[in-house]
A and B are shown apart, each in its own frame.
Chain A
Amino acid sequence: MEEIKRCMLDIKRIMDYTVGVIDANGIIVASTDSALEGSEDLSIRAVQKSQDTVTSNSERTYLNYYNGDKLQFTLFIQLLEPCAKTYIELVAQCLKVALKDRDTDNERAAFLKNILLENELPGDIPLKAREFKMPYSMDRVVFLVRVPRSESSESLYILQNMFPETDTQHTFAMDEETIVMVMKIEDEYSEFVEVKSKTIMDNLNAESMTRVKIGIGMPATKLRDIAKSYRDAMLALRVGGIFEKDKCVMRYDKLGLGRLIYQLPPTLCNMFLSEVFADGAYELLDQETIQTISKFFENNLNGSETSRKLFVHRNTLVYRLDKVQKITGLDLRSFDDAVLFKLAAMVRTYLEKQDSSANPTNTVW
């Protein structure tokens, strides 16, 4: 319907006559005079039954618009002069082009979806790309924008308007809460994805007050490689959702230790965990101690700085670290033990979240 309305607005700029589109029920769904939209045309039954393509009554000239054999719409122009027939046929042509563009956009989105899901034969991709006038060799990157299900259509609408469809930029919905954006990398990769992701997030936040998580894949040099970039972006969302829940933008190339741990088999992880935190030692640490450890790591194992940031005396910090050593056997002041603790804590988080993260639709907002 958007395309039809847009077409009417274009016609309004060219023509002074009132033109509109009537649906099968006789309701004017789009018109150059917006006041007419929603009103009923009482002559529609007679017009639809007419064998002539163009008919008229005392006020309007009508044209039945067919898709194959099926009547799709009826167009009207508020004019009875002989030129009305020419005008209404021109309007029909404009509408045809607009609807064809929409169909092409849909077909292009379906083609891209098939590439992303690896349902397209590699040999067919360059041929179809040419058909859709899409450059085959070009640096592209896939952004996955995850939004709450209730906000997805609004978010898609915003993004499609913010980043209009071109030969090098495509935005479409993958499922009910995932929007895919395939974009040409216009400058240096890192800078490009940083700026684009911030723009996407800021605009969705501002325009529809929507919470957003963005996953970013690695660059793809050929169109067929966007499938890998898409998988990277999916993984970035999953791994980021486990280890960096505070972040809204997850880049595949910035997953660090999280990506490494995510690749490990759970049996190995369990073995490592029971080796480091024997007898559920981690569970014995209270919230205050965990917060202290986090601050201690944040400050590069610097005791003075940590105690200052925590507003506690240095001796209190020493007492807390001694307590951790007593419970876990790890002295966090020693670099080796600190690394071991950090890794084990991440492995533990991974195992805990593994089930929920395995299902990508279970985004926690």
Chain B
Amino acid sequence: MASLSLQHVYKKYDGGVVAVSDFNLEIADKEFVILVGPSGCGKSTTLRMIAGLEDITEGEIYIDNRIVNDVLPKDRDIAMVFQNYALYPHMTVFENMAFGLKIRKTPKDEIKRRVSEAAKILEIEHLLQRKPKALSGGQRQRVALGRAIVRDPKVFLMDEPLSNLDAKLRVQMRVEITKLHQRLQTTIIYVTHDQTEAMTMGTRIVVMKDGFIQQVDAPSELYANPVNTFVAGFIGMPPMNFINALVAVEGDDVNIVFENFTIKLPERYAVPEVMEQDGKEVIFGVRPEAITDETTYVGQHPESAFSADVDVVEMLGAETYLYVTVNGALPLTARVDPTTSQSRVGEVVDLAIDANRVHIFDKDTEQSIIS
């Protein structure tokens, strides 16, 4: 169990390529932190720098208040779990889990104790004498986790460990790893490009792009208050709708104008940062669930209503996605209630935006205008 601190960490390669820039992060003991971002954003490089598998160009990394910049990877007391795990084919599950300890010359009794404990935690005690080929995908993944657990490390580093699994198994293992964190009460840093994994597993999420941290927050906060269009678009499925719109201030009222429609925003948006945008173009962000086709709501909120052509209706059981086009030019996605929705493909539908849940971003900087 350990805390981690990354201070002004940079990774620069020859020829001027910068993979990670000014990375600052404090990770408390027992936290489950997720590094998420698109391919090439520097998340795996950051993880490898923490592990010591990559040198850092500038900055300091501390594990439990001890600077580890020059400490060898194997002396950092960490364990890694990767995507492309492979089990030793001719060894039993017990031997697979014990292998790492054996090459570290751990006493036999200690190996037996640690493997038994890990097997109990992972609920694979009954599989200890089996060979890998007799295991299912999920069981193999658990053995791979077991190999890391037996080391009893201060920190677990996981680099997209579920990417090779099929969708169903991935969901199952996601729950398993979350439970594991609760049982082990240890610090985990987990890298993924999958925003669903990030949202469901982490206590805190670090969103990265082009080597820079974009936002560090709890999942709910990240979803509700993204700091820029990148975070807003990356977190949430289907992604947030972005609309090029104009801010029009009339007295104390703030209106958003797009495609001949005017949406009146609630009072809480009448703050100086927004008022200053009067007459300027902004990016108006609306999550799909903030757009509804419920007749009663639309009728009660004429100030945020607009009409659109329905292009596609996707019925997913618990929810329905409407893919609509406003004025034949602006595509939007709405997540509506399938029990009340009457929308059909080819029809014109009346929609309304829940104006309490909208976001306004600066057009140039793409940063959120309301903090």
Contact = CB atoms under 8 A, between A and B. Distances in A.
Given A157-B103, A161-B88, A206 B147 contact: yes
B99 A207 contact: yes
B73 A291 contact: no
A345 B15 CA distance: 8
B117 to A, nearest CB: 20
Contact of A206 (B15, B80, B88, B108): B80
B52 interface: yes
Given A34-B108, A202-B84, A209-B52, 12 more contacts: A158-B99, A158-B103, A161-B88, A164-B89, A164-B90, A195-B84, A202-B159, A203-B84, A207-B99, A208-B100, A246-B17, A295-B16
A245 B13 contact: yes
A202 B83 contact: yes
B183 to A, nearest CB: 21
Contacts of A199: 84, 86
Nearest to B211: A309
Interface string B104-120: 00001000000000000
A202 B74 contact: no
Interface string A157-173: 11001101000000000
Interface in B1-46: 12-19
A287 B80 CA distance: 34
Contact of B14 (A158, A206, A245, A292): A245
A209 B72 CA distance: 9
Contact of B82 (A205, A291, A295): A205
B192 to A, nearest CB: 15
Interface residues of B, number: 36
A298 interface: yes
With most chain A CB atoms within 10 A of its CB, the pick from B53, B84, B91 is B84
A195 B148 CA distance: 21
Nearest to B103: A154
Contacts of A287: 16
A209 B14 CA distance: 24
Interface in A190-204: 195, 198-199, 201-203
B73 A211 contact: yes
B367 to A, nearest CB: 12
A206, A207, A295 pick with most chain B CB within 10 angstroms: A206
Contacts of B89: 162, 164
Contact of A161 (B17, B72, B81, B99): B99
A232 to B, nearest CB: 23
A205 B53 contact: yes
A22 B125 CA distance: 35
8 contacts: A162-B89, A195-B84, A203-B85, A205-B51, A206-B82, A209-B72, A209-B80, A294-B15
B210 interface: yes
A162 B108 CA distance: 22
Nearest to A287: B16
Interface in B56-113: 72-74, 76, 78-86, 88-91, 99-100, 103, 108
B185 to A, nearest CB: 22
B16 A294 contact: yes
Please classify the interface of chain B as helix (H, G, I), strand (E, B), loop, or mixed, using the class held by over half of its residues. mixed
Nearest to A296: B16
Interface residues of A, number: 33
A294 B17 contact: yes
B101 to A, nearest CB: 11
Contacts of A294: 15-17
Contacts of B210: 309
A293 interface: yes
Contacts of A34: 108
Nearest to B108: A34
Given A157-B103, A161-B91, A164-B90, A291 B84 contact: no
A304 B148 CA distance: 45
A349 interface: yes
A312 interface: no
* Most A Cβ at <10 Å: residue of B53, B78, B89, B147: B53
A298 B89 CA distance: 42
Nearest to A150: B72
A308 to B, nearest CB: 9
Lowest 4 A-B CB distances belong to which pairs? A294-B16, A202-B82, A209-B73, A291-B16
B84 A198 contact: yes
Contacts of B19: 246
B78 to A, nearest CB: 8
A71 interface: no
Contacts of B16: 287, 290-295
B74 A206 contact: no
A35 B74 CA distance: 30
A298 B17 contact: yes
Interface in A19-34: 34
B135 to A, nearest CB: 16
Nearest to B55: A365
A183 to B, nearest CB: 13
